Amino acid sequence: MQENIARTQRRFIIQEQIRILQEELGEDEAVNPEFKKIEEKIKKAKMPRDVEEKAFEELKKLVKIPPSSPESTVIRNYLDWLTDVPWKKKTKDNLDIENVRKILDEDHYGLEKPKERIVEHIAVLNLVKEIKGQILCFVGPPGVGKTSLGKSIARAIGREFVRISLGGVRDEAEIRGHRRTYIGSMPGKIIQSMKKAGTINPVMLLDEVDKMSMDFRGDPSSALLEVLDPEQNNTFNDHYLDVDYDLSKVMFITTANVRYNIPLPLQDRMEIIELPGYLEFEKLEIAKRHIIPRQFKFHGLDKFEIKFTDEAIEKIINEYTREAGVRNLEREIAAVCRKAAKEIVLEGGNARKLKKVKYEITPDKVEEFLGVPRYRRKHAERKPTIGSVTGLAWTSVGGEILQVDATIMTGAEKLTITGQIGNVMKESAQAALSYLRSNAKELGLSPNFNKGKEVHIHLPEGAIPKDGPSAGITLTMAMYSAFKQIPARCDVAMTGEITLRGQVIAIGGLNEKLLAARRAGIKKVLIPKENEKDLAEIKKEVKEGLKIVPIESISQAFPHVFKDFKKKSSAKSKKGTGGK
C-alpha cells in the first residue's frame, strides 16, 4: 500500500515539476500532445470568433488544472461538445422540383396539400439563397404519415434528418440543457440533435409537440418558443454551451395529433397544415401500392404468385379496422400474410414445389384467417321514426353517423341528456330547447308545449365519449319530432351548431362527416352555409351520390327533415294574414 501511495505521489510531483518548468520556459499547452489535439480541433471547428475565444480560454484553464481534479473532466467534456457541434459544415440542397415531387409521391399516396406546400418551399429556395420562417406543423390523427412525410422531405432535398420525440417531456432542461455546475449536466435535445446531424442545415422533426406537459421543473413548450421563432433562433442559447448557436438554417417540422393541445404562442410561430384521415378508396390504394408489397417481402411471399383481391382489402378496411390512418390496416394485412405463409408451407412441402404455388386471398379467406369481423358498418334507420334523427360526428378515427333519440314524458319540466356527453353538447341541447320555446308559434307548436313535460335525449353507444360544437341542429330536430309526434326522414343527415336566434354556424371535419354519410346510405346532407366554401377542397369521390344542402338558419332545415312541413307552415301563414 505504501509503495502504491509513493508511486502516485512521485507521479504527481513530476507532473507539477513539468508544469512549473513549462511556465518558466514560457511554453504553452502545445507541449502536451493531448492539449495539442484539442487545440487543433478548436481551430478546425471554424467557430465564430467569440466562441473560439471562449474555447481557448477554457483550454488555458484546463492546462493549469491537475488532471486528477473533477473540474478538469467538466472542462474537457465542455470542449468536446463545443468542437463536436457543427458550426460551418453544410449539405448542398437538391432543389430539382421534379425529383422532390417524384420522391414524395413514391413514399406517400394522397396528402396533396402538404406535398404542394413542400414543392412551393423548394421552388422559393430555387429563387433565393435562404428562406426564413420555414416552420411547418403537420396536424392529423395517428397513422396518417406525419413522421414519414418529414423523412421524405429530408430524402427529397438531400439533407440530414434528425427526429426529437417531445411526448411526455416536462423538463425545460430537455430543450435548453443544464448548467455546467450540475453533476452529469449536458446540452439539451436540440444541440444533441445538431451534433448527431453533423451539419448546420438538417431537417429536424419535433414529434408530438402537443404531448408536452409542465411541472415544477419548468415549461418545455415555452423553451421551444425561441427555437421555433425565425427572428430569434439565430442566437439560440443553450444553458450548457452558454454561447449563441445559429439554428436559422435548420428546417423545422413539427407534428401533432390535436391542434388545440398546442399552446397558442407556439401555434403562432408555425404554419399549420392539416392532414385529414384517409378515405376508404385512398386506404385501398395505399394497401395495394405500399403495404402489401412491403408485407409480402417481409414474410417471404414475394417469390410466389399471390393475389390479394380488392374485395379482401376492402373487407379488412371496413370490418377489421376503424381508424383514420393505416397502422391497424398494416397490422391486419401482416396477420393475413403470416397465416397465408403457414398454409402455403403446409400444403407445398419442399421449396421447389412452393415456387409453383398460385394463391388468392379472397374475402372468405380473410374471415377464415382473422376470425369474426370486429366492426359492423353503421347504417341509418331503415324507416322514418318519431324523435330519432341522424347527425354526423367527427372522431379521431374518422367520421361517424350519430343517432340522436328524443322522448317526451309527463313530469317535471327538465332536460336530461345521456350517453357520455361533454359540456359543449349539453349546452347545445339547452340552446336547442330554448330556440323551440321562443319560436313555438312559427313552428306550429302550442305556446305551452313543454309544460309538465320532461325531455330525455339519448345518444346511443354510451361508452364512447361525445362532445363538440356540431350537434345543435340534430338535437333541435330530434326534440321537434318528439314534441310534434311526426317522424323525421331517415335518409337525411345533418351537422351544424346553432345560436339562440336559429342561425346555423360553421363546423369542422366536413370531409370525414360526408364520407360517414355515404357509408351509412344517406341521400341528403344538411351543412352550414359557412362551410359551402370547403366543398371545393373535397374530392368528388366523397361527394358522389350525396345531395349536399347548405343552410343559413334552422328554419330552412325543417322542410328537408319533415315531409309535409312546408305545406303546413304555408297554410298557417295564409290563415294568419287573413285574420289580421
Q: Determine phi and psi for 279, rounding to 5 degrees.
A: -85, 170
313's grid cell: 382489402
Please confirm, yes or no, whether 470 is among the known catalytic residues.
Answer: yes
What DSSP string describes 518-563? Answer: HHTT--EEEEEGGGGGGGGGS-HHHHTT-EEEEESBGGGTHHHHST
182's grid cell: 450540475
Chain mean position to CA 312? 29
Please confirm, yes or no, whether 68 is among the known catalytic residues.
Answer: no
The 10 Å Cβ neighbour count of residue 143 is 18
Q: Are 477 and 561 within 8 A, CB to CB?
A: yes
Say if strands 487-488 and 497-498 run parallel, antiparallel, or are unpaired: unpaired
Return d(Cα 183, Cα 541) in angstroms, integer.
61
176's grid cell: 435548453
Out of 513, 523, 540, 573, the active site residue is 513
118's grid cell: 413542400
Q: Is 255 helix (H, G, I), strand (E, B) or coil?
A: strand
Q: Is 103 helix (H, G, I), strand (E, B) or coil?
A: helix
Q: Is 461 helix (H, G, I), strand (E, B) or coil?
A: coil
Out of 221, 470, 481, 484, the active site residue is 470
81's grid cell: 461538445
Q: Are 173 and 239 within 8 A, CB to CB?
A: yes
Annotated catalytic sites, by residue? 470, 513
